Amino acid sequence: MVKRIQSVDFLRGFTIILMILVNTPGDWSYVYAPLLHAEWNGLTLADFVFPFFLFIVGISISFVYKEKSRDTTTYKKIIFRSIKLIILGLFLNAFVPYIPFLEIKSLRIPGVLQRIGIVFCIASILYLNCTKRQLLMISGLILVGYWLWLAYIPLPNGASPILQRGSNNWANYIDYKLLKGHIWKPDYDPEGILSTFPAIVTTLIGVFIGEILISTKKRKLFFLSVIGTVFIVIGYMWGFLFPINKALWSSSFVLVTSGYAILFLVLFYYLMDESKYNFGSVIKSVGANAIIIYFSSSILTKIFYLVHITQDTSIHRWLFECLFVYEFLDRSFSSFIYAIAVVVFYTLMAYVLYKKKIFFKV
């Protein structure tokens, strides 16, 4: 059993907190600017959240399955866990209060939990069956192959591929053909089919970093810092040819976000695991129940939006307008304060669960 690394728990909890902060503004028409995703190309604070989480999933895989045998029981557990995550994601997409049946005609099939489930399954099986060299080769081939596919291979209709939103974007083309009517927007889905492949690489990078963390390698923090810096530099340079883009999960996006994740982890590891500074227990408690906290926040937010107090006022709107909107405050800042309040609520919920030693495993 791998000894628990405090910095990983802290980074997982921090990422979930940031995820809730980004996903629950008081008013989507007045989102606090730093919490907005990039409209298409580019990178904002919000764009780091999901890749950071998949990076941590990869670290966890290296911890959990390092000593596991490649037997049927192990594979069954991996597949069962993946299926549970996918089902939770589909339930979240389909959930509508007051309706005793699910409307599947317009059900969005992709989603955050679905991607986590798929990526976890594939990355875990690869880790159990491939050498480090083979994993490196697979990761490189995916990143380069994905770039060449999206940027240079003509579409079946003969049109030249584009890297912007539209029907001639390969990622959207495949989603529209295979999932028509079941994607987030007609012109793209940020958790679509094709972009899941580079997301697997984000997780595999986490696997490599996890291996280094639990190794006895000398000066491993220096080594990790170099890796993180090199990733960022190569990612930004590659961005001139294949723009940094979360919706496409571009290869440059994989390298830049993974590089920053590594550097953040190095900082927290130095402070918490090497220097033994004891802080962030509340944040670590969120990481201890990461999936259930994320799922709870998502489902309750959906209920607050869909259940109305009056014909024109949802629970969410009533709470926001009555408790957080004031004439002396800019509405976008009120929206931000609402998101902070939601984060505090779920952080306290996670802390209570942690203190009572209640842990939900998916």
Extents of the domains making up the chain: 1-36+279-362, 53-275
Tokens coding 223 = 């080594």
- Which amino acid is located at 288 in the chain? A
pLDDT, mean of residues 321-348: 92
Position 168 confidence tier, pLDDT thresholds 50, 70, 90 = confident
Is 236's pLDDT higher than 90?
Answer: yes
Tokens 């990622």 found at: 171
| Res 97: pLDDT | 59
Tokens coding 100 = 């005793």
Largest CA-CA distance found in the chain, in angstroms, rounded: 64
HEC secondary structure over 221-275: HHHHHHHHHHHHHHHHHHCCCCCCECCCCCHHHHHHHHHHHHHHHHHHHHHHHHC
pLDDT per position as a tens digit, 127-146: 999 999 999 999 999 999 99
Position 362 confidence tier, pLDDT thresholds 50, 70, 90 = confident
Which secondary-structure segment (H or E) carries 219? none
| Higher per-residue pLDDT: 240 or 281 | 240
| Res 349: pLDDT | 95
| Res 22: pLDDT | 94
| Res 221: pLDDT | 93
| Res 185: pLDDT | 83
Mean confidence (pLDDT) of the chain = 91
On the 0-12 / 13-18 / 19+ scale of CB atoms within 10 A, 69 is: exposed
- Give yes or no for a contact between 83 and 32, defined as CB atoms under 8 angstroms apart: no
pLDDT per position as a tens digit, 98-110: 554 555 777 889 9
pLDDT per position as a tens digit, 319-330: 999 999 888 889
Tokens 């998101």 found at: 339
Phi and psi based region of residue 189 (left: phi greater than 0; alpha: psi -120 to 50; beta: remaining):
beta
| Res 275: pLDDT | 87
Position 224 confidence tier, pLDDT thresholds 50, 70, 90 = very high
Q: Length of the chain in residues, anyone? A: 362
Could you tell me what percent of the chain has a pLDDT over 90? 68
pLDDT per position as a tens digit, 70-117: 788 899 999 999 999 999 999 888 876 555 455 577 788 999 999 999
| Higher per-residue pLDDT: 3 or 168 | 168
pLDDT per position as a tens digit, 6-58: 999 999 999 999 999 999 999 998 998 889 999 999 999 999 999 999 999 99
- Give yes or no for a contact between 17 and 283, defined as CB atoms under 8 angstroms apart: yes
Give the separation between CA 44 and CA 18, rounded to whole angstroms: 12
Q: Report H helices in 65-195.
A: 72-94, 112-129, 132-152, 170-179
| Res 279: pLDDT | 84
Which secondary-structure segment (H or E) carries 308? strand 308-310
pLDDT per position as a tens digit, 204-217: 999 999 999 988 77
| Res 106: pLDDT | 75
Give the separation between CA 346 and CA 328, rounded to whole angstroms: 28
pLDDT per position as a tens digit, 257-285: 999 999 999 999 999 988 888 888 899 99
